[in-house]
Amino acid sequence: MIMKIFNLDNIREIIQRNIVSRFLMLSTALLFGWSATISLSYSIQIFSLPLIDDTLLAADKFIGCDYIKLMSWIKDHPKIADALGEIYNLFPALIVLLTLSDLALKNRSNIGERFFTSALIAFLLAFMICALLPAAGAASLLDSETAALATGATPLDCLYALRSGDMPQFSRAASGGLVSFPSMHVAIAVLALHATKAVRCLFLCVLPICAGFCITALTHGGHYLVDCFAGAAVAAAAIRLNITFHNFSVPHLQVGWLSFQRDLTCDVGGAA
């Protein structure tokens, strides 16, 4: 009975069956990572490292992206702006969809687990990047009326108050993300597509949402185009780190459990 309890395959089976527990655990980790990213992105502003908006704007111009012209067009087409806004706000829905996929699918694809762990790594990478390379975001180029369309843009009043030391108290309820470079919407889109690539029906479901994220990162996230490329790069790095960590940790965990089982068998045999 003891050997059955401590058998690694049995423990893995229990964990895989209890998907609800895994969902709660991974959701907590992801929520912590997101909350920590926001909090740390605020606290790091005390160092007032130089904003890199001039560099990002120059890169966008080199690529041929005219953000002001794009947002002026969006402003003149309110129905399109509203539709894109709805897509931009599907962030929580996408996360729920990927999580529930583990409950619906019977092939143990672990889509939610792969997505959550990669997303947590991506959040931490994004914080380190935005700490060293802070930016106000492309929405800072717009007039107040047009900038109001970019509902997810960096709150400039908070950013400038923090950098000048005039923000005495941090209000979590009123806080907004200060991660302008890279774009987390694009990073999440890439991670979602990678996590679902083995399940065609689910991949086709999330594909239009992820494509919408890449567009609305500009229109409603207030990002430069190079922010989107950086978000994709962060996602690629997070995927690679997640795979590397998994390949390193699982064999060592299995060896450790097998060694523990052999020691336990010897102890039980000796006692008998």
Percentage with pLDDT > 70 across the chain: 64
Average the pLDDT over 207-213 and give the result: 92
Q: Provide the pLDDT for residue 268.
A: 42
User: Is 224:137 a contact under the CB 8 Å cutoff?
Assistant: yes
User: Is 103:202 a contact under the CB 8 Å cutoff?
Assistant: no
Q: How many residues does the chain have?
A: 272
| Residue 50 CB neighbour total at 10 angstroms | 10
Low-confidence winner among 8-22, 24-38, 198-212 (lowest mean pLDDT):
8-22
Rounded CA separation 230/203 (Å): 23
User: Is 190:231 a contact under the CB 8 Å cutoff?
Assistant: yes
Reported as a single tens digit per residue, the pLDDT across 43-87 is: 666 666 788 999 999 999 999 999 999 999 999 998 999 999 899
Judged against a pLDDT cut of 50, whether residue 261 lies above it is answered with no
- 258-265 — which CB contacts under 8 Å span 24+ positions? 258/8, 260/6, 261/3, 261/6, 261/7, 261/8, 264/2, 264/3, 264/6, 265/3
Count Cα neighbours of 146 within 13 Å in the Cβ-side half-sphere: 20
User: Is 72:146 a contact under the CB 8 Å cutoff?
Assistant: yes
Nearest Cα to Cα of residue 102 among 198, 240, 244, 234: 198
Reported as a single tens digit per residue, the pLDDT across 86-135 is: 999 888 788 777 777 766 665 556 777 778 888 888 888 888 888 788 88
pTM of the entire predicted model: 0.75
